A and B are shown apart, each in its own frame.
Chain A
Amino acid sequence: ETGVTQSPTHLIKTRGQQVTLRCSSQSGHNTVSWYQQALGQGPQFIFQYYREEENGRGNFPPRFSGLQFPNYSSELNVNALELDDSALYLCASSLGSDSRGGYTFGSGTRLTVV
């Protein structure tokens, strides 16, 4: 059983650029959630995808967007990067959108915006 894989592990971008982060969900999981973890904070929910449709969104602006593919992998896209977007981005997969304790997290992508 493979876990959640995220790529890249680290990324440096310039303010105003666009970035795409990728996530492969755990085998058998059909739901992917994305979280942003700023330094010294807990992860904050960005959005969730269930069967290729957005299924819930946190308090993030529209320049944060995502996709889920038929194989349940997912992308997080951020446009017009700002310095405050520097954070660890975590992807979590689960079976179903409200899985009791059944979220598996990837190791994250560390994004630095300069």
Chain B
Amino acid sequence: DQQVKQNSPSLSVQEGRISILNCDYTNSMFDYFLWYKKYPAEGPTFLISISSIKDKNEDGRFTVFLNKSAKHLSLHIVPSQPGDSAVYFCALQGGKLIFGQGTELSVKP
């Protein structure tokens, strides 16, 4: 039973363009949502989060959108840079983290 789904295993974007990563969840009881970024041979690092009382949170080039009625979370990166190339995980938090399968983002120069 997959509570968090990232349906795109990979995404390729040109440098300078927008990257949009998507995430769907099934359990409405969670009230805090996060995005983590993972480089090879490193652990996941926290990127940005959003509480269920908000529908948008912005931090520099990164913006997370939350659509509670659709149970959908998205991460926008603009402009995308080659250093953003990594695997991105969305996660729900409720005492533990429940991760999606990840989307591998590749930003081409």
Q: Which residues of A does B touch, CB under 8 Å?
A: 4, 33, 35, 40-45, 48, 56, 58, 90, 92, 97-98, 100-103, 105-108
Contact = CB atoms under 8 A, between A and B. Distances in A.
A31 B90 CA distance: 21
Contacts of A105: 36, 43-45
A110 to B, nearest CB: 9
23 contacts: A4-B43, A33-B96, A35-B97, A41-B101, A42-B4, A42-B6, A42-B99, A42-B100, A43-B89, A45-B96, A45-B97, A48-B95, A48-B96, A90-B43, A97-B95, A98-B93, A98-B95, A101-B34, A101-B93, A102-B46, A105-B36, A105-B44, A107-B41
Chain A, interface SS category: loop
Contacts, number: 59
Contacts of A35: 97, 99
Contacts of B46: 101-103
Given A33-B96, A100-B32, A103-B97, A43 B49 contact: no
Interface in B35-49: 36, 41-46, 49
Nearest to B42: A107
B98 interface: yes
Contacts of B91: 42
A56 B98 CA distance: 13
A70 B49 CA distance: 31
Contacts of A48: 95-96
